[in-house]
Chain A
């Protein structure tokens, strides 16, 4: 892919086009990955293109999915299903769901019944990271998934292919880490509404094409001569699954925030380092999930309590506050808020809750709330 326009514009165009171009590609059939984390490398090694099955924002009217999922269920579940019911996933070989919450789990079943032509997979990612049995279990789980994909695709997935995919994905991962580090240091250099499409584009592209855009973006950002403004540095937490509309992120910035860290598309930026490229790549992947994975609300890890990790991220990024941003009806995020809030208050870190829905399109109220919050911090 040639990067003709500025990288951010290119990324925005990729995001705006949605899944349609990925579904039409001739080089590899696409395979939907519901958030949060998927073992993309294994899917890639099966000759597939992993793409984010992450809802459809305001780009789709719900016609059928409301009759399947009730009013009190998050939007991403409904719009993802609606895409299928409106035949907008034709060409997608299959999809994978994970043990992130009760909604995602039941959604996997609904997909299976309604789209019998798709290969629907459900991965139970361990909720107990303590002890060697979790690693053995996860290896056996990945091997099970591989066997299913092998049967579906009629080809063997050998270790060399998994190792190659690990190498492939390490590139964009590394670049995303570098951009995040750059922004944490100088948030005036990279806007949150720029970073977001850059990351999101990776959920629709092969890793090498994504890496190319990120590389150009990095060069463009490095060349900038920005001016720091009087804004409040915040960490955004809670949007690890359903994704906010870009207008909301623009609103946060417009209301006076520098976003220095966030958990948008968390599963696509899961690891804190590269995945090691040693022998037994499937085990490397499993071990990396356990040892180098994020602390998000959809996983339990006694060694890395999420509320402590949030405080650590605030301290390390030099943020002054936390914007807690759960998707409406997102039970894991909403439950975690209780413990987050308690911890932040213990640590004297100001915070604000900004609930969102992927399909929201007016941001006036949010703007007012965030502005008031920012002012209270700037002029305190």
Chain B
């Protein structure tokens, strides 16, 4: 069999490139496009009108991973953004605003902006700014944060009513009539991709895990969040499941010998993705689960879009079935399940300055896991977009010290 993850990586890259090509084409032809946020998104509705979604978060991510973010962040700071604002927004703002052709001609100016306010309050600011600077109308979809075990009927009604308004806006933007059967088909495709997602995540319960569910989950996140509802996404997950099943059968994973199984919380430091990853690889540590991979949606616990009730299930996913719209305490529960069901040795919290949605209160999370549950927990800090907050030497020291003590613990336990 081929190298670990090659087929998945290739398939992901191909599917995402095709999407970028469609965006570049739309930038030329003026075909309808809409901005959308990743978290708990309602891309199915846009697809029902053949509106191509544009995700500024993916743009920010790409800029960071290609090490292009800093000059753009500085440019945004000149515009008045604070050094304490989320740098995802700043990099995208530096890239998009004030240019004659936003997106360098490759990312279209959207026909309209859909702010799916799912959890992150920064989303509202980000898209308000886009609307203001680009002069493009904005549709707000206010998704009540989960305050109880389940969203209330009032919550669901409120979101569905707004989705209906979005449908009316899409009809206006495209001149097409809404076809509920088309939406059902799209939801069925979503559900198939979600099956694949769950299967990939479940396979990581094996020892060794066939993929790194933090560093390599990014290959899965593009297709599930951006391309959901298309045959491309379904095909991608067929490839992924096949490859990971084969790896499980061959008892192989991302590193030669899996020594530590970790759960990672928080987004990665994209400008130093490789370096950061190597610090864990050096200890033969594999992430068997991660919360970051569920910002868009949590499918590993069984939720699926439902072709029978398309609007309600889209509302349900926005309200409940993603990490961002759940409380910190719900996140503790999610991580606890990960640690127990995926049989992890430790929890690593990567706290990022930009993203207070993730980071505010992570000290409390450490207290809960380390002191109350007795799960070895490491908390390190940097940023997901701004390279100025990453210090490799310090990061290495902290990670090395943590795994040394973890190794020591393991040895002790074995000796007992």
Contact = CB atoms under 8 A, between A and B. Distances in A.
**Contact-residue bracket for chain A:** 35 or more
B9 interface: no
B154 interface: yes
B274 to A, nearest CB: 25
Contacts of A300: 117, 124, 128, 140, 142
Contacts of A133: 157-158, 161-162
Nearest to A338: B80
B147 interface: yes
Interface stretch (B171-179, B277-285, B291-299, B361-369): B361-369
Contacts, number: 157
Given A70-B381, A128-B142, A133-B162, A338 B121 contact: no
Interface string A289-318: 000000000101010000000000000000
Interface string A331-364: 1101111110110000000000000000000000
Interface string B129-172: 10010000010111011011000111101100110010000000
A357 to B, nearest CB: 12
B364 A102 contact: no
B193 to A, nearest CB: 29
Interface string B345-370: 00000010100110111111001100
Interface string B72-108: 0000000111101110010000000000000000000
A109 interface: yes
Contacts of B129: 335, 338-339
Interface of A: 66-70, 72-73, 77, 99-103, 105-110, 112-114, 121-124, 126-128, 130-131, 133-134, 136-137, 140-141, 144, 298, 300, 302, 328-329, 331-332, 334-339, 341-342
B328 interface: yes
B28 interface: no
B355 to A, nearest CB: 8
- The 9 tightest CB contacts between A and B, nearest first, are A140-B154, A109-B328, A128-B142, A133-B161, A137-B158, A335-B125, A106-B361, A334-B82, A124-B144
A65 to B, nearest CB: 9
A106 B144 contact: no
Contacts of A341: 80
A103 B356 contact: yes
B359 to A, nearest CB: 6
Interface majority SS on A: helix, strand, loop or mixed? helix
A107 B357 CA distance: 11
Interface of B: 79-82, 84-86, 89, 117, 119-122, 124-125, 128-129, 132, 138, 140-142, 144-145, 147-148, 152-155, 157-158, 161-162, 165, 327-329, 332, 351, 353, 356-357, 359-364, 367-368, 381
18 contacts: A68-B367, A70-B363, A70-B381, A109-B327, A112-B329, A123-B147, A124-B144, A127-B117, A128-B117, A128-B140, A130-B140, A137-B157, A331-B121, A334-B84, A336-B125, A338-B129, A339-B129, A342-B132
Contacts of A137: 144, 154-155, 157-158
Contacts of A335: 81, 85, 89, 122, 125, 129
B327 A107 contact: no
A210 B152 CA distance: 37
Given A124-B147, A127-B124, A337 B152 contact: no
B145 A124 contact: yes
Contacts of A124: 144-145, 147
Contact of B85 (A73, A77, A103, A334): A334
Contacts of B353: 70, 72
Contacts of A114: 364
A341 B89 CA distance: 17
Contacts of A328: 84
B121 A99 contact: yes
Nearest to B161: A133
Given A113-B329, A140-B155, A339-B128, 10 more contacts: A69-B364, A70-B381, A101-B121, A102-B121, A102-B122, A144-B147, A331-B84, A331-B85, A331-B125, A337-B82
A141 B158 CA distance: 11
Contacts of A331: 84-86, 121-122, 125, 356
Contacts of B144: 124, 126, 137, 141
B38 to A, nearest CB: 15
A209 B120 CA distance: 39
A27 to B, nearest CB: 30
A333 B161 CA distance: 30
B383 to A, nearest CB: 10
B360 A106 contact: yes
A201 B165 CA distance: 43
A103 B161 CA distance: 28
Nearest to A335: B125
Contacts of B145: 99, 105, 122, 124
Given A144-B152, A337-B80, A338-B129, A68 B361 contact: yes
Contacts of A140: 152-155, 158
A351 to B, nearest CB: 10
Contact of A136 (B141, B158, B364): B158
A8 B27 CA distance: 61
Nearest to B86: A331
A72 B84 contact: yes
A102 B353 CA distance: 13
Contacts of B120: 102
Contacts of A123: 147
Contact of A73 (B121, B157, B360): B360
B59 to A, nearest CB: 18
Contacts of A105: 121, 145, 327-328
A120 to B, nearest CB: 10
A332 B64 CA distance: 23
Contact of A329 (B84, B140, B327): B84
Contacts of A99: 121, 145
Contact of A102 (B147, B157, B351, B360): B360
Contacts of B122: 102, 331, 335
Contacts of A113: 329, 332, 364, 368
A128 B361 contact: no
A352 B368 CA distance: 43
